[in-house]
Structure 1
């Protein structure tokens, strides 16, 4: 599974695959052009196979239909809609297309980081703070939306736990985002779960 595109100043790409032996993946993604912002999400349906995919696709429907809503409201809407499913882990990120501000919110184990290309390797600017829980079954008592200011060239990575967590450690940021996502999937995927990574680069505002 591969896809890529651009929303305003954001170039994005995903690479993913189901667990070996499965035909469908419970690891999915959403990219929504919400006018003055772009909503990006990576969703990990609990487990794998059709029941995990069912939960993930229910979350996708909610996010696509409500992409302009605040992140905490989106999390609650998904939580309500997924009550009859296995549930998901999910991290949401919103880019302001006016000023490059990124806000994000996560529940479960979808890992996220913002990275900056450096003369030698890469520098981690921020790591997503995710709350313990399962969207659809138990949300954290409080959910904290955090923010970080993106600079031209900075990259957001979001990945499911089908990737080894070191995928955010010194990835080859000089590559275009489709190649970056492919590289991470190939190097860091596990053989025991679905896997998906989303990479998004902020290109900066046109002058």
Structure 2
């Protein structure tokens, strides 16, 4: 957020021995140092237990963050052998699977998120939703610091880091921290 020195929004990207990858975005409630502390605690917990099921990771974060400001978070795991994406989230960190289409950008699927605050009150976490993905598909996860309709003009020729930076620079709100994570599925990992 403008005038702040630390962000409460954090990204996660973990290689799981070349067989899979874990991605996520965590939004510490509010902004500033307390939000950043909560987000960093969640990121650390996820990275330490990254091989666990996504639902277990969120429950672990809930326990670790009890008494903190809390976070909204969405996690996604891509399995390269089966070309599948599993995702789940609590709060308002959106996740979309997008593809290039003749008419522009096609949103192939969006994560179903549960209401709640990790660290304060979460619902029973449903098993992660799983769907098939294709090489070239782009996973985009963003916090509520990004304005709506931000997916309409993605340059699919750009590197995923450039796509995330472009979305952030063009669509970040000045009233909140903002984070965009973009990861392109390139097929079987080598």
TM-score of the pair, normalised by structure 2: 0.95
- Which of 31, 39, 42 is the aligned partner of 1:48? 31
Question: Which residue number in structure 1 is paired with residue 102 of structure 2?
Answer: 119
Matches within 5 A, 1:49-198: 49-198=32-181
> After superposition, what is the alpha-carbon deviation per residue over 1:79-112, rounded to whole angstroms, capped at 9, x for unaligned?
0000021000000000102122100001000011
Does structure 2 retain, via aligned residues, the 8 Å contact 1:37–1:94? Answer: yes
After TM superposition, give the deviation of residue 168 of structure 1 in Å: 2.7
Does structure 1 retain, via aligned residues, the 8 Å contact 2:93–2:142? Answer: yes
Does structure 2 retain, via aligned residues, the 8 Å contact 1:117–1:174? Answer: no
> After superposition, what is the alpha-carbon deviation per residue over 1:105-140, rounded to whole angstroms, capped at 9, x for unaligned?
010000110011112201111001000000001111
- Which of 15, 34, 53 is the aligned partner of 2:16? 34
Number of residue pairs the alignment of both structures matches: 189
Q: Show structure 1 runs of 5+ residues with no match.
A: 1-18
Deviates more, 1:169-178 or 1:69-78: 169-178
The yes-or-no answer on 1:22 pairing with 2:15 is no
After TM superposition, give the deviation of residue 170 of structure 1 in Å: 4.1
After TM superposition, give the deviation of residue 142 of structure 1 in Å: 4.1
Of structures 1 and 2, the one with the larger relative CO (CA 8 A, separation 6+) is: 1
Backbone CA RMSD of aligned residues? 1.4
Does structure 1 retain, via aligned residues, the 8 Å contact 2:105–2:151? Answer: no
Query: 2: distance between equivalents of 1:24 and 1:151?
Result: 36
Runs of 4+ aligned structure 1 residues displaced above 3 Å come to none
Q: Show structure 2 runs of 5+ residues with no match.
A: none
Does structure 1 retain, via aligned residues, the 8 Å contact 2:80–2:187? Answer: no
